[in-house]
Amino acid sequence: PEFIEAFRQAWDETAAEEAAKDENFKRIYDAYTAFRAEYAKWGDVGYLK
């Protein structure tokens, strides 16, 4: 739905702003984003379709 995409865009903007201001936030957010990308691969193959 459109509102979910709006929330996602708002979060992406907020995260980018925070990452620019706070090195610790950036480090943690980068690690979290990498984990989610890797985990998504398993989600795609973890269930029979």
Residue with tokens 């690690």: 31
* List of residues 6+ apart from 29 with CB closer than 8 A: 15, 18, 19
Instruction: State residue 48's pLDDT score.
Output: 64
DSSP 26: H
In contact, 19 and 25? CB cutoff 8 Å: yes
Q: What is the pLDDT of residues 1-38, one digit of tens each?
A: 899 999 999 999 999 999 999 999 999 999 999 999 99
Neighbours of 26 (CB within 10 A): 15
Instruction: State residue 43's pLDDT score.
Output: 77
Alpha carbon 5 to its chain's center:
13
